[in-house]
Amino acid sequence: MTLAEFQDLIRRTYHDRDARRGIDKTALWFVEEVGELAEAIRKGDRRAVEEEAADVLAWLATLASLSGVDLETAAKAKYAKGCPRCSAIPCRCP
């Protein structure tokens, strides 16, 4: 599944509910999921890290959709050439 396909899947699945909640409250849910991911990483729980990473990606896709941002296009525009500052892969910034 591409990033665009994932964003579309999340939009089709949750958009009406997310739009009713609004972007501000959705952003709070996103931050909560990031916190859960951080906790799973801290505990070294690989299964939980996978689940929470997927949740973070889903909430990011929701925020992007509510904001009118295509994640795949945005990611390509910023990172297709590597590091946005030095354009190297791997990054050679000091």
Per-residue model confidence as pLDDT tens digits over 44-87 = 999 999 999 999 999 999 999 999 999 999 999 999 999 999 99
Question: Can you give the residue ranges of every domain in the chain?
Answer: 3-79
Average pLDDT over every residue of 35-44: 98
Residue 36's pLDDT is 98
Residue 32's pLDDT is 98
Give the pLDDT band (50/70/90) at residue 94.
very high
**Opening angle at CA 51, ends 43 and 19, nearest 5:** 125
Residue 19's pLDDT is 96
In sequence order, what DSSP letters do the residues of 8-47 get, joined into one string? Answer: HHHHHHHHHHHHHH-HHHHHHHHHHHHHHHHHHHHHT-HH
Is 3-79 a CATH 3.40.50.2000 domain? no
Average pLDDT over every residue of 89-94: 96
> At a CB cut-off of 8 Å and minimum separation 6, what does 26 contact?
18, 59, 62, 63, 66
- pLDDT tens by residue, 10-34: 999 999 999 999 999 999 999 999 9
